[in-house]
Structure 1
Amino acid sequence: MKKASVAWVAIDGGPAYAVWCVALESALYVVTGPGEQAVPGLAAAGSAEVTLRGDHGGRIVSWPAEVTRVTPGDEQWASLAPQVAAKRLNSPQPAPELVDRWAAECVLSRLAPADAPVTAGDSLPDASHAEQPRETPAARPTRRPFRLHRVRRR
Structure 2
Amino acid sequence: MTQELLDQALVEEATKKSGLIWVRGAAAPSPAGPGEEAPTRALWHVWHEGAACLVGDGPGEQPLPGLVDGGHAVVTVRSKDKGGRLVTWSATVVELAADTPEWDAAVGELKGKRLNAPDGEAMPERWARECRVVRLEPTGATAEPPEGSLAARPLPSPATTRRPAPAALPRLLLKRRKRG
Do they fold alike, i.e. is TM over 0.5?
yes
* CA displacement at 1:139 relative to structure 2: 8.0
Higher helix share: 2
Point out the more displaced range, 99-108 or 37-46.
Answer: 37-46
In the alignment, is residue 25 of structure 1 matched against residue 49 of structure 2?
yes
For 2:53, give the aligned amino acid: Y
Unaligned runs of 5+ in 2: 1-14, 27-36, 169-180
Residue of structure 1 in register with 2:39 after alignment: 15
* CA displacement at 1:7 relative to structure 2: 0.8
- Residues 85/14 of structure 1: CA separation in 2 closer, same or farther (3 Å cut): same
Aligned length: 140
For 1:27, give the aligned amino acid: A
* CA displacement at 1:4 relative to structure 2: 2.0
Residue of structure 1 in register with 2:108 after alignment: 82
In the alignment, is residue 40 of structure 1 matched against residue 65 of structure 2?
yes
Residue of structure 2 in register with 1:99 after alignment: 124
TM-score (normalised: structure 2): 0.68
In the alignment, is residue 109 of structure 1 matched against residue 123 of structure 2?
no
Residue of structure 2 in register with 1:151 after alignment: none
* Per-residue CA distance 1:27-63 (angstroms, 9 max, x = gap): 1111112220112232446111111100201111111
In the alignment, is residue 51 of structure 1 matched against residue 76 of structure 2?
yes
| Counterparts of 1:100 and 1:134, CA distance in 2 | 29
* CA displacement at 1:112 relative to structure 2: 1.0
Point out the more displaced range, 126-135 or 59-68.
Answer: 126-135
Unaligned runs of 5+ in 1: 149-154
